[in-house]
Amino acid sequence: MEKYIWELGSLIFAILGSIHLLYTFFSNKFSSRNKQVLKEMKSSNPILTNETTIWKAWIGFNASHSSGAIFIGLINIYLAERFFESLITEPFFICINLLTVSFYLWLAKKYWFKIPFIGILITLICYISAIIIHLTIYNS
C-alpha cells in the first residue's frame, strides 16, 4: 500500500509540472496583466547579459522549473515501481525527496498560490505517510 501512496504523490508532482509546462508554452497564464510590464520584460536585458531578455529568461525559468518537477515525479514513480525497497529504506532517497518536496512547498507558500501549494503538500503527505506505514509494518 505504501508503494501506491508514494506513487500517487509522485504522480501529482509530475502532473503539476506538466500543467506548468503546458501553461508556459501554450497559454498566457504566466504573462503580466499589465501590458506595459510585458512590453518592458520583452525589451529589457538582465544585468548579467545582453544575450537574452527578461521575458526569455522568465519563459526559460518556467520551462526548466516544469521539467524539474516532471523529472522528480517520473523518477520517483519509476523507482517506486522497480526499486521500492531501496527507495523507502535508503536514507539518501528519503532525505533528497523530502528536502526537495519541502523546498517546493516552501516556494509555493512564499511565492506562488494555493493550487500548487495544496498539490505539493499532498505529495509531501503521501511521501511521509508511505515512510511511516513502511516503518510501522517492517519494524513491528
pLDDT at 28: 95
CA distance to 28, 44, 54, 76, 124, per residue, from 128 (Å)? 35, 43, 38, 14, 6
Are 14 and 135 spatial neighbours (Cβ–Cβ below 8 Å)? no
Rounded mean pLDDT of 80-86? 95
Alpha-carbon dihedral sign for residues 90, 93, 96, 98: negative
The pLDDT tens digits for 27-75 are: 999 999 999 999 999 999 999 999 999 999 999 999 999 999 999 999 9
Band the pLDDT of 137: cuts 50, 70, 90: confident
pTM of the model: 0.90
> Residue 37: which of 55, 59, 62, 25 has the closest Cα?
55
Alpha-helical segments (H) within the chain: 2-26, 35-43, 54-89, 91-111, 114-138
Domain count, the chain: 1
pLDDT digits (tens, 9 = 90+) for 87-131: 999 999 999 999 999 999 999 999 999 999 999 999 999 999 999
Average pLDDT over residues 11-21: 98
Residue 126 lies in domain: 2-138
Task: Determine the residue type at 15.
Answer: I
Burial label for 55, CB within 10 Å (0-12, 13-18, 19+), is middle
**What is the per-residue pLDDT for 68?**
97
